[in-house]
């Protein structure tokens, strides 16, 4: 599921997984999905009719898989983005500007950006419904700078 993702945003899957894994059945895929859900890599919603539940991927799936799939580690990348925001907090106002400053493709940018959004007070997170980024942008003040510094410290090896 992470490998098929082109934008690095959580997405949904369903019975099409049975076509991707024709040697498997719903009886073997469903328990595997339950394990992924228990690890926080997907969320599942049961539906009447389909053989598999509706599957929503999470950012945790990208954190777990991207180093092997894309060669990039979203956690390491999130530290880079956090440092960029510490250097220039204005970059966060529009996700498109931060993405451009990073020079990364969207598939790499979005999981990393999603990891640092919780460092910003929700009242300063621009969340209009749009399909391109986890959020539209973040407005950073002193307390967010402190949270970003703590994030960088926690995740720097």
Q: What is the pLDDT of residues 96-124, one digit of tens each?
A: 999 999 999 999 999 999 999 999 999 99
Rounded Cα distance between 93 and 139, Å, is 5
Q: What pLDDT score does 17 carry?
A: 87
pLDDT at 32 over 80: yes
Contacting residues for 46 by C-beta, under 8 A, at least 6 apart: 53, 54
Rounded Cα distance between 68 and 83, Å, is 24
pLDDT at 49 over 90: no
Instruction: Write out pLDDT tens, residues 122-136.
Output: 999 998 888 999 999
Q: Locate the domains of the chain by residue range.
A: 12-68, 72-155
pLDDT at 90 over 80: yes
């Amino acid at each position: 599921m992470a490998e098929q993702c082109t934008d690095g945003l959580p997405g949904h899957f369903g019975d099409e997984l049975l076509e991707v894994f024709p040697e498997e059945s719903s009886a073997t895929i469903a328990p595997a999905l339950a394990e992924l859900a228990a690890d926080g890599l997907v969320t599942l919603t049961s539906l009447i009719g389909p053989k598999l539940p509706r599957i929503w991927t999470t950012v945790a799936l990208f954190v777990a898989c991207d180093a092997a799939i894309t060669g990039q580690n979203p956690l390491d990348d999130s530290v880079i983005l956090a440092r960029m925001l510490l250097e220039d907090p204005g970059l966060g106002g529009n996700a498109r500007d931060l993405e451009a400053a990073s020079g990364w493709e969207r598939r790499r940018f979005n999981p990393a950006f999603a990891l640092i959004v919780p460092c910003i007070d929700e009242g300063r997170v621009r969340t209009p419904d749009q399909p391109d980024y986890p959020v539209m942008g973040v407005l950073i003040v002193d307390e967010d700078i402190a949270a970003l510094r703590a994030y960088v410290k926690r995740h720097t090896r």
